């Protein structure tokens, strides 16, 4: 499963948003890959195509795909200089695929700001500095280990060292690794370091209800920073998200419309996370179950099969594939077959968003 860690200074609204996530949450039992811990919330990824498929297939159940949000507490100014970022904190944040950085863009005299005033760019920098320091520590250890090897003439160690030193410079300049413009081969060298600032970031501007849907001056400041980084920005109101999470179906739509929104902030967070991580969805559509599955864009058929079960990947023979549009226009699998819209694809097939797939495999 894909995981998104929620970070931010104290009192910016992290817990409020995380609580909205858990109350909107999916039944974790349906997602065996998800971790069931108090700081983990599992949410289903809204996808209208699932409903359209279900209407045709009339399955016993419909299961959206899900992603996990992890509430990562413990990040404060000076965290990395004092006690060092706690091991638990680092462990949690290293494991996530993306980071949702909650930034306070609301004023409220009843909610103390740790630094005395609302200032999104300062807040972002405080967090950025702590994460950079954590990455510098990780990098420093690796550099120390590899320097000897490099000096003794080991060519691959020399190549790695030069990349590590460049990254060190970027971090010392106060920039995140994700903004360093590294080549894929260079990033591959860094992969097993699990650098925090290499992860994609989704900024979440927490605004007052009155500032929905477009934000305020604080959000504009943040927007410039986000654009310069090539990250994503979602504007929401934490308090309102908590209310939305309690509503279902029609009520939810009405409530959102009254606020001038098409989608809840949580749903926008999920979709932005999907884009940020380069994820796509494929479907399985049987009478027992119509289900959505998440893969990385570019995944090949066996990898996609492996998301369902590792045996499907190991024993992969071929996939029967119907594009989503074809499945809908032919009113299902039988119709699609009749019209020659079902393709047989082998192990090199690159899965397309919306593919309806059926895997053939050896056991």
Interacting span for ligand GDP (CB under 6 A) from 12-20, 219-227, 253-261, 351-359: 12-20
The 8 Å CB, 24+ separation contacts for 17-22 are: 17/102, 17/204, 17/206, 17/236, 17/238, 17/241, 17/265, 17/266, 18/69, 18/71, 19/242, 19/245, 20/238, 20/241, 20/242, 20/244, 20/245, 20/266, 21/69, 21/245, 21/266
Identity of the residue, 15 or 158, whose beta carbon is nearer to ligand GDP in the bound complex: 15
- Per the CB < 8 A criterion, the answer to whether 130 and 35 are in contact is no
- Shortest spacing between CB 235 and ligand GDP, in angstroms: 11
Interacting span for ligand GDP (CB under 6 A) from 25-33, 157-165, 234-242, 345-353: 234-242
11 annotated binding-site participant: yes
Q: Binding to ligand GDP by residue 353, rule CB under 6 A?
A: no
Contacts of 327 (CB under 8 A, 6+ apart): 53, 56, 285, 333, 336, 341, 356
Identity of the residue, 103 or 357, whose beta carbon is nearer to ligand GDP in the bound complex: 103
216 annotated binding-site participant: no
16 annotated binding-site participant: yes
252 annotated binding-site participant: no
Q: Binding to ligand GDP by residue 215, rule CB under 6 A?
A: no
Among 118, 179, 193, 208, binds ligand GDP (CB under 6 A): 208
Interacting span for ligand GDP (CB under 6 A) from 60-68, 237-245, 314-322, 348-356: 237-245
Q: Binding to ligand GDP by residue 41, rule CB under 6 A?
A: no
Identity of the residue, 167 or 240, whose beta carbon is nearer to ligand GDP in the bound complex: 240
Identity of the residue, 46 or 74, whose beta carbon is nearer to ligand GDP in the bound complex: 74
What's the CA gap between 142 and 135, in Å, rounded? 11
What's the CA gap between 335 and 328, in Å, rounded? 9
Contacts of 2 (CB under 8 A, 6+ apart): 67, 68, 97, 98, 273, 277, 279, 294
Identity of the residue, 18 or 282, whose beta carbon is nearer to ligand GDP in the bound complex: 18
Among 44, 80, 138, 206, binds ligand GDP (CB under 6 A): 206
Name the residue with tokens 């059926």.
358
Q: Binding to ligand GDP by residue 218, rule CB under 6 A?
A: no
Q: Binding to ligand GDP by residue 158, rule CB under 6 A?
A: no
Number of residues that bind ligand GDP (CB under 6 A): 16
- Shortest spacing between CB 39 and ligand GDP, in angstroms: 11
Q: Binding to ligand GDP by residue 22, rule CB under 6 A?
A: no
Strand order of the β-sheet with 2-7 is: 40-44, 66-71, 2-7, 98-104, 201-206, 232-236
Among 94, 225, 239, 271, binds ligand GDP (CB under 6 A): 239
Query: Mapping DSSP to helix (H, G, I), strand (E, B) and coil, where does residue 35 land?
Result: coil
Q: Binding to ligand GDP by residue 99, rule CB under 6 A?
A: no
Parallel, antiparallel or unpaired: strands 61-63 and 289-296: parallel
- Shortest spacing between CB 6 and ligand GDP, in angstroms: 9
Residue-wise burial string across 98-121, b where 16 or more C-beta atoms lie within 10 A, e elsewhere: bbbbbbbbbeeeeeebeeeebbbe
| x/- track of binding to ligand GDP for residues 100-119 (CB under 6 A) | ------x-x--x--------
Q: Binding to ligand GDP by residue 264, rule CB under 6 A?
A: no
What's the CA gap between 105 and 324, in Å, rounded? 40
Give Cα 219 distance to the centre of its chain.
Answer: 21
Identity of the residue, 128 or 284, whose beta carbon is nearer to ligand GDP in the bound complex: 128
Closest to 287 in 3D by CA, of 50, 52, 57, 53: 57
The residues binding ligand GDP (CB under 6 A) are 8, 10-16, 106, 108, 111, 206, 208, 237-239
Binding site members for ATP: 11-16
Binding site members: 11-16
């Amino acid at each position: 499963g894909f995981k998104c860690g929620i970070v931010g200074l104290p009192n910016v609204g992290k817990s409020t948003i995380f609580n909205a996530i858990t109350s909107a949450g999916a039944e974790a039992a349906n997602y065996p890959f998800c971790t069931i811990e108090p700081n983990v919330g599992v949410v289903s990824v809204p996808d209208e195509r699932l409903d359209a498929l279900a209407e045709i297939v009339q399955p016993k159940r419909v299961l959206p795909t899900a992603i996990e949000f992890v509430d990562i507490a413990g990040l404060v100014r000076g965290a990395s200089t004092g006690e060092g970022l706690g091991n638990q904190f680092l462990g949690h944040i290293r494991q996530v695929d993306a980071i949702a950085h909650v930034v306070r863009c609301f004023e409220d005299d009843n909610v103390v700001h740790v630094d005395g005033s609302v200032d999104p760019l300062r807040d972002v920098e405080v967090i950025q500095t702590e994460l950079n320091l954590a990455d510098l520590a990780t990098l420093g250890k690796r550099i120390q280990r590899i320097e000897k090897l490099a000096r003794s003439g080991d060519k691959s160690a020399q190549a790695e060292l030069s990349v590590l030193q460049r990254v060190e410079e970027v971090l010392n300049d106060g920039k995140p690794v994700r903004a360093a413009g590294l080549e894929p081969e260079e990033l591959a060298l860094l992969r097993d370091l699990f650098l925090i600032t290499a992860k994609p970031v989704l900024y979440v501007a927490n605004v007052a209800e009155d500032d929905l849907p477009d934000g305020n001056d604080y959000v504009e400041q943040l927007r410039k920073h986000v654009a310069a980084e090539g990250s994503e920005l979602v504007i929401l109101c934490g308090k309102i998200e908590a209310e939305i999470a309690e509503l279902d179906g029609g009520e939810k739509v009405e409530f959102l419309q009254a606020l001038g929104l098409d989608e809840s902030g949580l749903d926008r967070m999920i979709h932005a996370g999907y884009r940020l991580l380069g994820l796509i969805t494929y479907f399985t559509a049987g009478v027992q179950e119509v289900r959505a599955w998440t893969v990385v864009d570019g995944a090949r058929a066996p990898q996609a099969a492996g998301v369902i079960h590792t045996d499907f990947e190991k024993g992969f023979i071929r996939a029967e594939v119907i594009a989503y549009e074809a499945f809908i226009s032919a009113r299902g699998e039988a119709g699609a077959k009749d019209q020659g819209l079902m393709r047989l694809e082998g192990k090199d097939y690159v899965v397309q968003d919306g593919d309806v797939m059926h895997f053939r495999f050896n056991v």
